Each structure stands twice: as C-alpha cells, then as structure tokens.
Structure 1
Amino acid sequence: MKLEQQTFLITGASAGIGQALALALAQQGARVYAWGRNAASLRALAASHANIQTQVVDLTQLAQLRLAVNTLLASTSIDCLINNAGIQHAKQLQDETYGLQDIVDEVSVNLIAPTELTRLLLPHLHSRPQARVLMISSGLALLPKAESAVYCATKAAIHSLSEGLQLQLKGSKVTVTECILPLVDTRMTAGRGSGKITPGQVADEIISELRRPARPILYVGKTRLLPILLRFAPFVVRRLLQTPIAGPHSQSQ
C-alpha cells in the first residue's frame, strides 16, 4: 500500500491508539478522517497536521453513525477503515456499580459499531482498487481474563467476525486484518498491568503491516507469542490472566 495515495477512516481517534495512528499515517502522507467523542481532543489533533480532518461521532448512536458515513462518502473516498474505538470496564459482572448501560455501551462500541460501520462502507470499499479493513483486537479475544468479561467477549466476537468477513470477501478487492494487541499504555489501562507498549509503537507496527500484502492476523508486540503459548503452555497464559486485579473504571482507547 502506498500510504501517501490512501485515505483512512479511524474510529476512537480522540486519544490513545487511534490518535497515534492518525498522526503517524498523516506524517506518512496519507489523508486521515479521524472520528471520536472528545471534541477538544479532536480539534487539537486536526490542528497538528494538515492531512487530518476530524469529526465528533458517537458510535453508540447508530443513526448518527449512518449520517456521518453518508456525509463522508458524499465528498471523499475511503481506502482503509480502521475499527479502533473501544470501551472497557474493569469490573466483574456482579459488581453493583456495573449496570445494564455499561454492558450496552461496551457491546455497542466494541462490536455493533464496527460491524455496522464495516457493513455501511463495504459497497464503497468494493469500488476502490485496493481496500482494507483493520479490526483492532486484543489478546483477550483468544483467552479472557478474570475482570472485564464483557469486554473480552466483545473482542472474541471481533475475532470471529474478522474470520467470517475474510471468508465472505475472499477473492474480492477488500481484505480484512485483525490486529491483536498486547497491553497498551492508554487511559483504558491506566493503573493496571506492566510491560505496556506505547500507542506509538502500535501505530508503527500497523503502518509496517499496511505496506505489506494483507494478512488475516497481525500479532503486535508480545502477542506474537500467544499462538505458541496457547498451543503448548495454555496454563501459563491462564494463570496470568485469570487472577482478579484491582483497576479503575476504564474508558475508550
């Protein structure tokens, strides 16, 4: 992929991984449309590079999402969709402060929104000479941890969705890559875990991947070890992940 000739749409770009990706891609010469919910952060992002345009879009509001897609496609073409936005609540299901709205928000942002956004953009992506969809996922898609059961379930669903779309789109000009991330130093993971990589490191690995022929899965950082560990020593991963940890109420990437 010649990035300087491509146009990207990135969700969850108000901070963290999405913001780092938007800036890194723009610096490579790509045009970037960055969506998020924090208007002030998006204004600062747009001011940081001429190749970045931003828009406030609440992915839990499907009518707003559809309007944003229609408005965008009326004025530009998109070559690559990066479904990055995510919400995680580091709480157990029986926690009294974890309610139905929290569950709805996690499922809406982490699963329904990327599914619907991909569906809405697919007819357009098929018209492009080379189109890609990137699903930002997690090692927790393969094995859940003690906390954040709903978040883990949504990432497992994204893993399955990615595989299903790869089958549906086989032979077409649209490719789907699931990007499986390790623990990344964002607001979502504040105060939890160690050995995190930075959003910038994630952006660098994804950009390197975009320059190669598409693959079904990109394992980022330490997650490259996951397939081996899950095959030969799954108990090691389970021991690490299934010990409850204390953590704050976490928000989007």
Structure 2
Amino acid sequence: MKFATWNVNSLKVRLPQVLQWLAETPVDVLALQELKLDQDKFPLAEIEAAGYRAVWYGQKTYNGVALLVRAPFEIEDPVLGIPGYDDPQRRVIAATVNGVRVIGAYCVNGESIESDKYVYKLEWYARLHDYLALEVEKHPACVLMGDFNIAPDDRDVYDVEAWRDKVLCSVPERAAFEGLLALGLTDAFRVFNQEDKQYSWWDYRAAMFRRNLGLRIDHILVTDALKARATECVIDKAPRKWERPSDHAPVVITLAD
C-alpha cells in the first residue's frame, strides 16, 4: 500500500493537479490539507471518477482536510475533528483503511512566536498529542500525516540562523513534535533519508523552489507496526514544478503487505 500527504493550498484551484498526480501516482490513501472549501463544495464527483472514495471536513476560505481512498478499499469509522475539542478550525480527520488507522492533520501555523496564534498552536498540539495517544493505544497500525508546520531539526531548514527561534522552528514547537514521537511514532522519511536540504515546502517568492530554499514541514509518522512494513518514504517534488502549483510537495510512504 501507498499512503501520501499533500497540502494543496486550495482544492478548488489545485483539483486538476491532484487528479493528474493520482493518475500518475495511484496511491491508496491521500491525505489533503488546506481544502479552503465549504463542506458542500467538495468535488466528490471528480474524485470518484478518478477511482477514489472520500471523507472530508471542509471550511470556507481556510483550513479543511480530506482523505481520498482508492477503491475498492473502504473508509471505516471516520471521525471529523479531535473528539471533545470544540475547535472552530477544521484541521483533523481520521478513518480506518484496510486495517490501518489513518489520521490526516493540518496543524496550526502560529504566525509568529509573539502572536496569539502561536499560543493557540502550542495548545492545539497538546490536544493533538492527547488524541493521538488514545488512537495509538487502540490501533497498533496507525499513521499520522499532514502539514505539521514544524521543521523538526536544523537539517530541515535552508537557513538555520535566519530561522532560529522563529515560528516553525522554535524550541517549544520542536518539543511538541518530539512529544508525538514519544508516543511510539517514527518520522518515516528519516528512516530512509538522513540528508539535509530535503524540503517539502518552498515559498512562492524569490525563486525559492528553483534555488531549493525550503523547509521540511510535511511529515508521515508511523507506529512500529507500520515502520516494520515501510520500504520507502519520499518527497515527490514533481508537482511543485507544474503550472499553478501548491507551495507544498506530496510525501509518500510505501508499505509492504
């Protein structure tokens, strides 16, 4: 099986790219972030025509997440949002697919460490941690994937000094990321690739992609049961070169049966 995550930065704008990518890279589960669509505006007909089923949690203009699941796999026990957390922002979605509990997340950006949004980010991560602890306990085969808006260490940042103690790279954010790993999860990309300058997001400005000045903020975290099955985890930079691209690239993990 193949699982992938991709922040598409507006599904309305990027639907052609998503359909093209699925045709060329037929993953079994794709977690999408930043749909920027109302719940009733989701392009289900187009997704189904491409051979996928879907569950989604939409929000106009901002946020929004979805799981696309390739037929004939079923979407079982879907959950929208973090149970018990009255979050006005629609950022988390979960379902079981072929025995794997899949959680897709669009984590809070935080804006700047001086912002109230940064406080919200750390509080939000604490809620995610508690939710994930329960999910991992219930589902030995569990994957959390999405746009985490955290670069876990200095290898994941194109200019370490410029980003030091800034949002996405601050010590408390990185501690929150480590807290998720402490639940028994592994950063799947780093199982296979220990190099620096491996990024999943590049600003649209100043030819940042062409110059490979980016951050690795899109991640796939897996439990030990899935880590044992993992054969590859890569960042697919090809769609970032397409016309009207998202500023993020998909991350894909391959699991042996």
Which structure features the higher share of helix residues?
1
What is the TM-score normalised by the length of structure 2?
A: 0.45
Which structure features the higher share of strand residues?
2
What is the TM-score normalised by the length of structure 1?
A: 0.46
